[in-house]
Amino acid sequence: MASSVGANPVIVRNVMCALKEADIIAISQGKSGITLAKPLDEITFFAIYKAVDAVSEEGLFHFHENPNANCPIGRNIHKGVDQKLNRVQQAMEEELKKITLSDVVQDTRKAIADEND
């Protein structure tokens, strides 16, 4: 699997463990190994995003932890951008909730079929 996606096997293993912990996949010994724990149309991108800890508790846009209090921009940067960036994160998360693995499978099958035409 790691070579298929071009990632380090340790990273893939960690992601698989996180998905198992979130009851998105089931892992067993043997040839079948990994199976989905839910139907494709019940697994959203949002569930996967949350399962793999794609974002920390501080949010997607976490920056400038120690701005310079003597600088008017540093002192006020969070007042200027935090609320806007939180809206962006919320909008992204709402979109992630609308996309399922079923959508991905359908689009991938279509792309493969289109290649063969």
Question: What domains can be seen in the chain, in order of their start residue?
Answer: 1-37 (no CATH), 39-117 (1.10.10.10)
User: In the prediction, which pLDDT does 2 show?
Assistant: 77
Q: What is the mean pLDDT of residues 84-109?
A: 95
pLDDT at 13: 87
Give first-to-last CA distance, the chain, whole Å.
Answer: 28
For residue 23, pLDDT over 90 is answered with yes
40-96: per-residue pLDDT in tens?
A: 999 999 999 999 877 777 777 777 778 888 999 988 988 889 899 999 999 999 999
Residue 65: the pLDDT is 78
Q: Flag whether the pTM goes above 0.95.
A: no
The Cβ of residue 2 has, within 10 Å, a number of other Cβ atoms equal to 12
Contact 73, 64 (CB under 8 A): no
How many angstroms separate the CA atoms of 66 and 77, rounded?
Answer: 11
